[in-house]
């Protein structure tokens, strides 16, 4: 009997060691994606993500949800979410297997002129002007495109009635949101809000930012959204709201007229694209230069086998930096509003141009900016926001929009709750000055009335080798946007990381013609030292971007909200 017991114990011991238990809780990464098969919304505020899911649960599609999320972020994330700004949207319709781009970028008012803004002749008198005049206040405002963009997407691709989609948003504005620490601090660090009476009344109480934990209700904004829900674009660009815009502009020497509002239109385009390791990468074309930067960098990296390298190796960072620098060179000269300037997209993204840019790229030495010739700088705000959405049928939206600076120009149009952009700041005011390197002298982006300024926003969709949608992503971050998105794409495709790991890889940014290589503090310090040794002037940066992504693998959605900014979140339909 004793022998049998020993034998059984021996068998048990051998079996448990020969076939060790594989536990589900042995996670490979601390950055856990949210997983499901149905609808998913990923945005920079979880309350807005939840409203998107509410719309999907009503039977709406990804486009219906995008409209609700876009309006909701004006309440939950007012420093970037907006009705008074503009942006770009990619829409994928699964049934037709078609992808569309919607350009709803803000544009300069028809009666605006630089001499009246600055009381100077530009570009000759550039050094004597006060640039704050196109950063803050009414003269900084370009004609807003957000409402037209979201509603055009709905009209073309939506399923549910607009009033039904916007009702939860109206209720959110009426009932108010709880002020988070992040919102409180953002208001606290935005002095231009105090310079505008209407904004001061909304965002401050007795001279102090609205307190953490208090409820911020938006009655005027709710009324504006109700008019839009009832009357469509006419509820914003004509009638009562347009009258309030016109009166405010006249009272404050602004340029936007009722005609500017009435005549604003969006542009439906074919997105620009490239092949990367057999994956088709789609993004926004001009007037965005961010897409050109991203695709140029991918074209260069395509010629190197990154899979042989680690995601955090010195050579990986070096190649990404050199590719980004060349991408920014491409966008700094010949990207502008295609309605005013013929942008040579095919040449900028051609094999010939890629080879030309690669010619002096070295593995062990950073390339001086003087050696990267233009195919022939404006300080861009990081305060933009992005959201990604997919519905149960596979339709998808990738949307990036902005007010420009945090809380835009600081101006709120009285009686509307609409916070305004400062996109007049994004034109190249030194255009044509041959002594200037960088985007501030770009002829393509020179100021003209009725023109859309260049942007770095680049919403992205990736389709795998089988032609299936595999990644939806995008980011805020000004000129850092292409770097943030590039890091996610290469993390997923080259290093086969899940979307959480790819999102949280340390990021770098290398612009042109600037010398510095900016890097996040999470980068290994020894790698930073090695990069410095080979000629990159290393400059520690704050966090870069805030990607909101959905990775689709084997018909499963893996959503991840970047941890770099608080309050973001993934919301899902229950399978």
By annotation, the residues acting in catalysis are 384
Show the tokens assigned to 337.
Answer: 């509003």
Burial of 392 (C-beta count, 10 Å sphere; 0-12/13-18/19+): middle
Rounded Cα distance, 198 and 78, in Å: 14
Identify the CA nearest to 332 among candidates 293, 382, 381, 305. 293
Residue 127 has φ and ψ, to the nearest 5°, of -65, -15
DSSP state of 12: H
| Cβ pair 86, 145 in contact under 8 A | yes
Residue 321 has φ and ψ, to the nearest 5°, of -60, -45
Q: Which helix (H) or strand (E) holds 553?
A: strand 548-553
Count how many residues are written for the chain. Answer: 575
| Cβ pair 274, 299 in contact under 8 A | yes
Rounded Cα distance, 283 and 462, in Å: 9
CA dihedral 479, 183, 45, 100 (to 10 degrees): -40
3 state SS for 45-98: CHHHHHHHHHHHHCCCCHHHHHHHHHHHHHHHCCCCCCCECEEEEEEEECCCCE
Q: At 215, is the secondary structure helix, strand, or coil?
A: strand
Match 């988070």 to its residue by tokens.
Answer: 180
Rounded Cα distance, 235 and 237, in Å: 6
Rounded Cα distance, 174 and 219, in Å: 6
* CA dist list (Å): 78 to 14, 52, 82, 417, 452: 62, 17, 6, 10, 22
Match 């993390």 to its residue by tokens.
Answer: 491
* CA dist list (Å): 218 to 39, 174, 176, 368, 567: 29, 6, 6, 51, 20
Match 């509410």 to its residue by tokens.
Answer: 54
| Cβ pair 514, 369 in contact under 8 A | yes
């Amino acid at each position: 009997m004793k022998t049998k017991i020993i034998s059984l114990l021996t068998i048990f011991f051998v079996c448990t060691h020969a076939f060790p238990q594989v536990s589900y809780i042995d996670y490979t990464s601390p950055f856990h994606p949210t997983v499901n098969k149905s609808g998913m919304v990923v945005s920079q505020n979880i309350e807005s993500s939840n409203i998107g899911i509410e719309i999907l649960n009503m039977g709406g599609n990804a486009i219906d949800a995008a409209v609700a999320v876009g309006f909701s972020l004006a309440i939950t994330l007012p420093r970037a979410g907006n009705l008074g700004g503009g942006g770009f949207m990619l829409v994928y319709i699964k049934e037709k297997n078609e992808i569309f781009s919607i350009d709803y970028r803000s544009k300069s008012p028809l009666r605006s002129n630089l001499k009246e803004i600055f009381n100077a002749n530009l570009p000759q008198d550039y050094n004597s002007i006060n640039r704050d005049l196109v950063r803050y206040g009414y003269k900084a405002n370009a004609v807003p495109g957000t409402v037209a963009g979201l509603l055009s997407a709905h009209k073309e691709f939506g399923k549910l009635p607009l009033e039904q989609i916007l009702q939860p948003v109206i209720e959110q504005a009426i009932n108010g949101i709880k002020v988070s620490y992040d919102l409180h601090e953002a208001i606290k660090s935005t002095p231009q809000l105090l310079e505008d009476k209407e904004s001061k009344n909304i965002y401050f109480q007795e001279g102090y930012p609205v307190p953490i934990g208090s409820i911020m209700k938006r009655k005027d904004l709710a009324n504006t959204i109700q008019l839009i829900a009832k009357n469509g674009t006419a509820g914003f660009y004509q009638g009562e709201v347009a009258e309030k815009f016109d009166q405010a502009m006249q009272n404050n020497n602004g340029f936007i007229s009722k005609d500017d509002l009435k005549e604003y239109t969006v542009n439906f385009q074919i997105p620009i694209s490239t092949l990367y390791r057999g994956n088709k990468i789609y993004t926004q074309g001009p007037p965005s230069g961010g897409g050109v930067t991203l695709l140029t960098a991918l074209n260069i990296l395509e010629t190197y086998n990154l899979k042989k390298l680690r995601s955090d190796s010195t050579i990986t960072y070096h190649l990404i930096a050199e590719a980004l620098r060349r991408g920014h060179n491409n966008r700094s000269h010949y990207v502008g509003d295609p309605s005013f300037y013929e942008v040579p997209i095919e040449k900028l993204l051609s094999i010939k141009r890629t080879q030309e840019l690669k010619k002096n790229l070295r593995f062990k030495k950073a390339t001086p900016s003087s050696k990267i010739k233009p195919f022939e700088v404006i300080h861009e705000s990081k305060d933009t926001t992005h959201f990604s959405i997919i519905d149960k049928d596979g339709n998808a939206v990738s949307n990036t929009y902005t007010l420009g600076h945090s809380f835009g120009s600081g101006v709120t149009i009285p009686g509307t709750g609409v916070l305004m952009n400062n996109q007049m700041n994004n034109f190249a005011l030194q255009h044509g000055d041959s002594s200037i390197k960088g985007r501030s002298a770009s002829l393509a982006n020179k100021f003209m009335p009725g023109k859309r300024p260049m942007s770095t926003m680049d919403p992205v969709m990736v389709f795998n080798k089988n032609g299936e949608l595999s990644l939806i992503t995008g980011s805020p971050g000004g000129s850092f946007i292409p770097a943030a998105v590039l890091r996610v794409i290469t993390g997923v495709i080259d290093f086969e990381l899940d979307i959480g790991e790819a999102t949280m890889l340390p990021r770098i940014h290398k612009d042109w013609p600037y010398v510095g290589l900016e890097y996040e503090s999470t980068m290994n310090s020894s790698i930073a030292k090695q990069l410095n040794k080979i000629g990159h002037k290393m400059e520690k940066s704050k966090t870069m971007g805030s990607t909101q992504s959905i990775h689709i693998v084997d018909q499963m959605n893996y959503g991840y909200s970047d941890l770099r900014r608080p309050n973001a979140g993934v919301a899902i339909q229950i399978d």
